[in-house]
Chain A
Amino acid sequence: MSMIRRILALDGVNVICHFRDDGYLLEGYGLMGRDDMVRLAQFAHDYRRMIQGNADQLAMFTGMRGWTPPHGWVVRGAVQSVCGVGNLVCIVEGADAPMNEILLELREISHW
């Protein structure tokens, strides 16, 4: 069984996807069709690059160390949130989801 599936055991996590460095979906699990997982992987890949650029520019313009390279990002919507760490992205439902634990797990698994 793929190790990224264990993320689905955390409260609120409905989808987890692992993508290649070019955004190609390698594997995805959860409550989402394959076509949308392909879209999610490409979105997360683009977003990761954008965040990397933002952090690089912030460091360059301010001289403040400690922002780059960034570990991840969270966009929290009214009911759904999207979290990205490394080449992993997940969709989390509910305001009460254990976001600290989810980010820790994503970070650990992203290093495998």
Chain B
Amino acid sequence: MATLDELMRLPAAMAAFEFRGSGELLDQRIAYPERINETTLDLLAHMCAANMSIATMQARGWEKVTAMKGFYPIQEFTLVGFDWSVVVSGFRREQLKNEDKTSLPPLMGVVLGNEKADYEAAFAVLEGQEPIP
């Protein structure tokens, strides 16, 4: 499972955070406190939790109406803003749900500067595929 410190080693990482499925911020690392603070991360986490839920509803609906598969469960949500992006993941939680675990870890996210953002690397770290050197 990715750690906040691993996420902070991604290119252009501004902040990394953990949050509940209901959106409350649990822990964070901030590289540039003059640009982004804990209050902003808390709102961002709530926005991302809402989007994960909405995307889950859409994935289930889409699979039912089209008979296409592979959208559910939602693993990551990414918002590419004007200058910043946020990538959040529930990948590890979904894995544990499949194993019938009832105690689930928090969701994790990272805020990236768009100019040097590497979304593939962010997905890889959030999914625990590879450590950042």
Question: Quick check: B66 and A36 within 8 Å, CB to CB?
Answer: yes
**A80-B69 Cα distance, complex, nearest whole Å:** 8
Chain A residues with Cβ below 8 Å from B77 are 73-76
Tell yes or no: A24 within 8 A of B by CB: no
CA A56 to CA B55, docked complex, whole Å: 19
Return 9 A-B CB contacts under 8 Å, by A number: A62-B43, A64-B36, A67-B83, A71-B114, A74-B76, A74-B77, A75-B77, A78-B75, A100-B118
Contact of B80 among A39, A73, A93, A95 (CB under 8 A): A73
Q: B51–A69 contact, CB under 8 A?
A: no
Stretch at the interface among B21-29, B57-65, B100-108: B57-65
Residues of B within 8 A of A77 (CB): 59, 70-75
- Contact-residue bracket for chain A: 35 or more
Q: Give CA–CA (A80, B66) in the complex, Å.
A: 14
Interfacial residues of chain B within 44-94, with CB under 8 A of chain A in the complex: 44, 47, 50-51, 54-55, 58-59, 62, 65-66, 68-84, 94
Which residues of chain B from 101 to 121 have a CB within 8 Å of any chain A CB? 114, 118-120
Known A-B contacts A77-B74, A79-B70; A55 and B79 likewise in contact (beta carbons under 8 Å): yes
Chain A window 26-60, contacts with chain B (Cβ cutoff 8 Å), 1 for yes, 0 for no: 00000000001001000100010011001101100
A16 to B128, CA, bound (A): 29
